[in-house]
Structure 1
Amino acid sequence: MTNIWEKRRGVLIALAVLIVLFFASVYIVPEEEQAVVIRTGEPIGVVNTPGGTTNAGLYLKVPFIDSVRRVEKRVLDLEMSDEEVLSNDQQRLLVNAYARFRIFDPVRMVERAGTTEGVRLALEPILNSVLRQELGRRTFQNMLTAERGSALANVRANLDRQARQYGAEVIDVKIKRTDLPDGAPLNSAFRRMESDREREARTIRAQGERDARIIRAEADADSARIYADSFGKDPSFYDFYRAMQSYDTTFSARNGNESSIILSPDNEYLRQFRGQN
């Protein structure tokens, strides 16, 4: 009876050891993760990496010798808190930005940063520095125009160049908000922007008035030339036409003021009115 229990106990112990060895030998890599297999501190293989030959699933490793470091495969965010940046026109700006990145080389990431959080800690001061340098080359007004896109493209390129040494690639960099600090600097900036717009408006109006005078002068010159060319062909008709214009102006003004004018029938002024050349 004792021998039977000892045999059963031995079988149970063996089964327990096998179960422990099995769970110590297998690991599962889900679709949203990639894995780095490490043996004695050195990476020896990767699973489910972008562009790799392996996919998500069940895998084996040497128990108690190999360890598995899991790395996020999805796109990650790098948040930046409000930072004060000095623009090219000496405006103090509060900038809130973020970047999106992903790990494309998990081995390099494990060797140089350890974890994805280590990558974030390494890239955050770089993002701040690159953003300060790029925005410092531009005015606050330019950051409200399409030039903002080219500035962010430069920031993304510079940040990506630094991120690749940690096995990461930067997909995008965006600015959530660009504000002026509250208080006197903000009010001063608004007044400066208002005066700049008023100065631009005055310049535009002055240019418009100058162009209008030039156009009117050219039109009057063309009109005079056309009249001269036309009436020069028939001086008597031109004399008649000018006389009719004078009559219309004189008598219309008099009628409008409810007054009268008395002229002798043989007055020279009424020569054309009498039909005499």
Structure 2
Amino acid sequence: MGRLWEDHRLTIMAVGALLVGLLMSVYVVPEEEQVVIVRTGEPVGTVNTPGGTKGPGLYLRAPFIDKVVRIERRLLDLEMNDEEVLSNDQQRLLVNAFARFRISDPVRMVERAGSTEGVRSALEPILNSVLRQELGRRTFQAMLTAERGSALANVRANLDRQARQYGAEVVDVKIMRTDLPDAPLQSAFRRMESDREREARAIRAQGGRDARIIRAEADAEAASIYADAFGKDAEFYDFYRAMQSYDTTFGPAREGEAPKGESSIILSPDNEYLRQFRGRR
């Protein structure tokens, strides 16, 4: 009985080891990936690569010996954020650019860069360099015209030529933004703001001067009218001015004026100020 149990235990262990070995040997290659099999540091096979005979599916490898390196078949991004570039007209520009590339030779990529991140690390300074060279031959204004397209075509061609040595193919290069640095922009904005404030002060000063002239002319005209009225009918002018004074003193508050409140004025019946109420002129 003991011998039988020992045989069963050994069988179970053997089956378990076989299953573990099988699981470690099997790998799946999806449609969006390509695979390079590396053995003792050297590529020995590929799956689902451009021009290859093996497509996506289920495959076996030697466990503990073969290493599966998975590589994207889709387009990959390479970004360059806010790098300062000197244009041909000596303008310091902040350039935000990106490139799209794919791995076209995965074996070379594994040999030269090891992984897609290694490719990115190798291409970033190259993208920076070719952009500086290309934009350095053009003015800032030229980068705002159709000439920008030819500049980007040259950048893509130069970057692609360098990327081939890492098994990559550059399919597109775009500049998302080309601006002057913040410091010159802020200085320009401050200059514009100062100029507008100076113009506003000049306009306000001119308006104040015109207002004083108009007010003085109006006062002079009013004084002339009053003088003419006084000369034609002195009694009527005296009556009119008295009514204005009474209205200001005793009348209700006009629209827009503060309420006058309750107040009392004590005057003697024969006060000269009230002579119009008594019908005396």
TM-score interval, normalised by the smaller of the two chains? 0.5 to 0.7
Give the residue type in structure 2 aligned to 1:132.
R
Task: Give ranges in structure 1 of 5+ residues lacking alignment.
Answer: 192-277
Q: CA deviation at 1:153?
A: 0.3
Q: CA deviation at 1:188?
A: 5.8
Q: Kindly provide the CA deviation profile for residues 38-77 of structure 1, in whole angstroms up to 9, marking residues without a partner as x.
A: 1111111100012221111101112221111111111100
Q: What residue number does 2:265 align with? A: none
Q: What residue number does 1:163 align with? A: 163
Q: What residue number does 2:143 align with? A: 143
The question of whether the paired residues in 2 share the 8 Å contact of 1:180 and 1:186 is answered with no
Please give the alpha-carbon distance, in whole angstroms, between the structure 2 residues aligned to 1:89 and 1:48: 49
Please give the alpha-carbon distance, in whole angstroms, between the structure 2 residues aligned to 1:9 and 1:103: 49
Give the residue type in structure 2 aligned to 1:8.
H
Q: What residue number does 1:11 align with? A: 11
Q: Kindly provide the CA deviation profile for residues 192-246 of structure 1, in whole angstroms up to 9, marking residues without a partner as x.
A: xxxxxxxxxxxxxxxxxxxxxxxxxxxxxxxxxxxxxxxxxxxxxxxxxxxxxxx
Task: Give ranges in structure 2 of 5+ residues lacking alignment.
Answer: 192-281
- 3-state secondary structure, aligned to 1:81: strand
Q: CA deviation at 1:170?
A: 0.3
Please give the alpha-carbon distance, in whole angstroms, between the structure 2 residues aligned to 1:94 and 1:26: 50
- 3-state secondary structure, aligned to 1:50: coil
Please give the alpha-carbon distance, in whole angstroms, between the structure 2 residues aligned to 1:40 and 1:28: 21
Q: What residue number does 1:230 align with? A: none
Q: What residue number does 1:38 align with? A: 38
Which moves more between the two structures, 167-176 or 2-11? 2-11
Report matched runs for 1:162-181 at 5 Å. 162-181=162-181
Q: What residue number does 2:28 align with? A: 28
Q: CA deviation at 1:185?
A: 6.0
- 3-state secondary structure, aligned to 1:183: helix
Give the residue type in structure 1 aligned to 2:148.
R
- 3-state secondary structure, aligned to 1:80: strand
Report matched runs for 1:119-268 at 5 Å. 119-184=119-184
Report matched runs for 1:61-76 at 5 Å. 61-76=61-76
Q: Relative to structure 1, is the Cα distance of residues 39 and 183 closer, same or farther in structure 2, using a 3 angstrom cutoff?
A: closer
Q: What residue number does 1:209 align with? A: none
Give the residue type in structure 1 aligned to 2:176.
K
Please give the alpha-carbon distance, in whole angstroms, between the structure 2 residues aligned to 1:75 and 1:97: 16
Which moves more between the two structures, 177-186 or 146-155? 177-186
Please give the alpha-carbon distance, in whole angstroms, between the structure 2 residues aligned to 1:132 and 1:188: 25
Please give the alpha-carbon distance, in whole angstroms, between the structure 2 residues aligned to 1:140 and 1:38: 48
- 3-state secondary structure, aligned to 1:88: coil
Q: CA RMSD in A?
A: 1.8
- 3-state secondary structure, aligned to 1:165: helix
- 3-state secondary structure, aligned to 1:9: helix
- 3-state secondary structure, aligned to 1:17: helix
Structure number with larger C-alpha Rg: 2
Q: CA deviation at 1:187?
A: 5.3
Give the residue type in structure 2 aligned to 1:101.
F
Please give the alpha-carbon distance, in whole angstroms, between the structure 2 residues aligned to 1:50 and 1:15: 38
Q: What residue number does 2:116 align with? A: 116
Please give the alpha-carbon distance, in whole angstroms, between the structure 1 residues aligned to 2:98 and 2:9: 60
How many residue pairs match? The answer is 191
Q: Relative to structure 1, is the Cα distance of residues 188 and 87 closer, same or farther in structure 2, using a 3 angstrom cutoff?
A: farther
Which runs of structure 1 show a deviation greater than 4 angstroms over 4 or more consecutive aligned residues? 185-189
Give the residue type in structure 1 aligned to 2:74.
R
Q: Give the TM-score taking structure 2 as reference length.
A: 0.65
Q: CA deviation at 1:186?
A: 6.7
Tell me the percent identity.
Answer: 75
